[in-house]
Each structure stands twice: as C-alpha cells, then as structure tokens.
Chains A and B, each alone.
Chain A
Amino acid sequence: MVEQTVRIISNEPDADHYFRLVVRAPRIAALVQPGQFAHLRIPSPEQVLLRRPFSIFQAQGDTFSVLYKTVGKGTQALSRMGAAEELSAIGPLGRGFTLPEPGGETPLLVAGGYGMAALYLLARRSPQKGIVFVGGRSRADILCEEEFRALGWEVRVATEDGSAGEKGLVTQPLIAELKRGAGKRKLFACGPNPMLKAVAGIAADFDAPAELSMDEQMCCGLGACLTCVLPIKTGSGWEYQRTCTEGPVFDSRRVLWEV
C-alpha cells in the first residue's frame, strides 16, 4: 500500500453515466492483485472531503484504471477531470480474490453493473478460463463485455429489460449453468448487495464455494475508522470486520446478511 500523486491519462465516458479513468501510478500499479481497490481524493469545488474507493479494473505497466458510475457529488466531480490533471491515490488496498489454481475448480464470474471492473483482472490472471455472467438493468449497464471475450472467456449477458442478452436477472443463466452439473465450479461475484446475497444463496444451494467482493460505504480505507464493517461469522459467533481490510472479498459462507 502506498500513497502517491497520480496523473490522469484519460477519463472518458463509457456508456450512460459510466466512465473509465486511466492514471499513471507506477508504484501502485506494480502491486495490484485482482479484487483490490484504490482510494482516490477528488479535488472538487463542492468540497468532497472524503476519499472515494474504486475497484481497480486494469493494471498494466505503470498505469491502472477504474470503471465508475456517476452516482453522487464525488463521482460527478471526478467525471469532470481531464487528462494531465492530478489527484492523490492510496492503493492497492484490501484483500482481493483467490486466484484459481491450474486444474482446479472452473471459475464462474458473476457481475452486476460496474461490478465487472473488480472481476476483470481476476479473469486476466486466472490460469484457466471460465464463464462470466453479467447483468444490469439495460444494455448500457453491460460493461467491458468485449474485454472478457478478448481474454477467451465466454460471456453470458442478462438484462432486466431484455435490451441485451437474456431478459431477467443475472442469476438465471448462472443457475442454468450450475444445474448442468459439469464438474467443480467456484463463483466469484461483484455487484449490488441484493445480487451478492442471491449469489451466496445459489452457491449454498449448489454446494459451490463463492467469493464475494462487497461494496460498502467507506471512509479511511485503511482500517482505522470502522465505517465499512460487515457482520462476519467467526468460530463461535460473529464480529464486525472491515470491508477495506479483511475484505472487500469475503467467503460467501461467512457473510451474515442480517444481525
């Protein structure tokens, strides 16, 4: 983990409300593991005080990129920044995904919206190919499908309005695949909480291991403030663990959805 001032190489709109930010950050880029995140300080006239966490989408050479959606004043301010502007980044942070082992379980990736971003590096660095299930409300929410195909992964799309792929939730094609029952599979998921909760249930139903990348509101990103905690099962009961430090990736069997 390091803090460094990073320079924006590009910050382009991708689809509706989605942007791709690429920054030059040699010290951070070299350390990135799949599923980790960067904590960005966004200089802004609206006084965005706290940093904002972003899953690291790609890390190549001395750059890394993030894929984000404009959802509040922080991401809106970020979307107005341009090439050559600078911002402070801390990263890479958190515990990411466990890389699949050669000859081990077939990886099935499940993404909702910009959850795709957290899964790309996993697919890229996985020694074996698998299937990516990607869902969203409509076509505009289906991101970086081509990047996954370019890696040689099969991509199955579901949209709630049917404007791309199968009509419905991303869990439908996932269940269909699991029902086929061909060998051992492991799920890796990132997306909105209801989707993650559904994936955890499906994993339990099919007795498949699953790793979930949790998206929680965060403050320091370093483990100090205890904002981003989740109730996680321990040997005898449960405790609040930090999404930024013990996570963001958790074993689905350990996440308690209600306490």
Chain B
Amino acid sequence: MNLSVAIGKLRMQNPVTVASGTFGYGVEYAQLLDLNQLGAVVVKGIRLHPVAGNRKPRTAEVTGGMLNAIGLQGPGVEGFLKKYWPFLKELKAPTIINIWGATIQEYGEVARRLDAVEGVGALELNVSCPNIKEGGAHFGTDVTLLSQVVGACRKATTLPLITKMSPNVPSIKPYARAAEDSGSDALSITNSIPAMAIDIQTRRPKLGNVTGGLTGPCIKPIALKLVWEAASAVKIPIIGMGGIQNAADAIEFMMAGATAVAVGTASFYEPQTALQVIAGIGDFMQRHGIRDVRELVGTVQVE
C-alpha cells in the first residue's frame, strides 16, 4: 500500500501534515506524539524580524470552532534558526517553513535566507493571515500582488513553494492560477476565515484585535468547496485543510482534489489527531482495495 505523495520536489511518506500556527515549531508536541510519523511538520509563520503579536484576548471558542488573532508572534528568521531549527533538522519528517513579510521584498529576503539552510523541506507563503495590518491577507486577495510575492520568492529559492490561499475572495480560481503561473509548486487551501464574536455582558469584542480568523470543524464545508474549485483550475498539487478532525474528513478533501491534507485546530484539543488520520486513511484504503493513496485524489463524482 502506498501512502506517499509529492508536493513539488518534496516527498511526504504520507499525505498528512499539520496547519501552520496550530503546531508551534513541532517541539511543543514532541512529548505527546512521534513527529517522524507525520508527512511533514509545518511551523508557525515567521518573518525577517521578531514579532510581539497582538493584544489579548487572542482566542475565543465559538460553536463548532474557535477564533484566533494571535498576530503571528514569532522569533524572526534568525531567532527561528537558532532556537528551533537544530531540533527540526534532526527529524526524519520534512519541515515546511511558513513565511510572511510586510513587503514583497521581505518575502523574498526570508525565502533567500532559508534557501541557504540545509535540509528545509519547503516554504509555505502566508499571504492570507487575517490578523495583521501590514502584509498578510492583502497579498492574498489581490491577483497582481499575489503574483509578485510568489514571483519574488521563486527568484529567491529553488525550494518547493506552497502558497497558502485566502478564503476571502469571490472565486479562488484566478488566485490559484496566478500562484501557479508565478512559480508556486503547490497550494494550501485554506487559511482561517475572517470573523468576530461579542461578549454581550461587556459589549466588547471577544478578541483584543476585534476581529480574527475562524477555524475548526465549522469551516470544513467552506474549505472543501474552495479545494474543489481550485483543483479544477490548476495542475499543481493542493494541500487541503480546514476543520479536519478524522480520516473521513481528510478523505473528503482528497476526493475534492487535495493531494495532501493538514490537521489544524484539532491538534489543539486532540494532539493525536494527525496520527489518527494517517491510520484511518490506511484503513479506508484497505477496506476499499485502494493500493495507492493518490488514487483518491479528485475522485468526487459530480455528475
């Protein structure tokens, strides 16, 4: 039975990874699960310089999901390389580094810096974080800017590039094509969905940042449709994510057109979820006589 998939040059031993921002830098989960069983580890977004992050409260639970507005708190690329890379580079599972910048130039600089680091699996370009004023989402919701960000990173590195797509567009297809045409090797779909919640006793927003990004099981149908639409527009592989809690959810994404999947918010409340998804995909394949996991991709029967 073959579970391995390819995301550009990146080989994954199975199609299951984790969503950036939900898995820290991997090390936080190392005592609870064997990270080497994952298809890849995806770390929290980093930019050139350290970032303090947003004011509190930073998260709020809502029905079927949660809001977050962390604000991409992080150590910056040099801090990351010093503090976290020594651990990550020893893993057998590849590491995908999520990067962002306030300017197109900064994206390129971070990509160039990481291109010089031995052993990086791939870069994921975060052009869709809803929680930061500069950079982030506006690159993902403007086709021209999106092309420029991907193009700048393409020039800066030969590492596989994965563009993390915004859900906040009227149709994902032109954005997916723009990323593909500019040299992205894959797409990850989708990021959190802009949202808010209010405490009716205090009449205050539940997030310090006022608005945030919605994630968790409640966004799965939205993410699934975005994956399905994008899959019809591009040839590059898609990593599907949004509310995956079990193997059945993951298989839905694969049938919609995703070559791989990422477990996000579920890792917060059940750290073993990604490993359970891997096992469950194997069980499904066995029950249905599927020998290669790639046979699942894009097999939804619409007619």
Contact = CB atoms under 8 A, between A and B. Distances in A.
Interface of A: 1-3, 41, 47-51, 88, 90, 217, 219-220, 222-227, 229, 239-240, 245
Contacts of A227: 57-59, 68, 70
B91 to A, nearest CB: 16
Contacts of A226: 44, 53, 58, 70, 73
B64 interface: yes
Given A50-B66, A226-B53, A239-B52, 4 more contacts: A49-B66, A90-B271, A222-B32, A227-B58
B33 to A, nearest CB: 9
Nearest to B59: A227
Contact of B269 (A50, A239, A240, A245): A50
Contact of B24 (A3, A50, A224): A224
Nearest to B73: A226
Contacts of B301: none
Contact of B216 (A48, A49, A217, A240): A49
Interface of B: 21-24, 28-29, 31-32, 44, 52-53, 56-59, 61, 63-66, 68, 70, 73, 216-217, 265, 267-272
B58 A51 contact: no
A223 B28 contact: yes
Contacts of B265: 49
A239 B83 CA distance: 16
B28 A90 contact: no
B59 A222 contact: no
Contacts of B57: 217, 227
Contacts of B66: 49-50, 219
A51 B227 CA distance: 29
Given A49-B65, A217-B59, A224 B270 contact: no
B97 to A, nearest CB: 16
A240 B271 contact: no
A222 B27 CA distance: 10
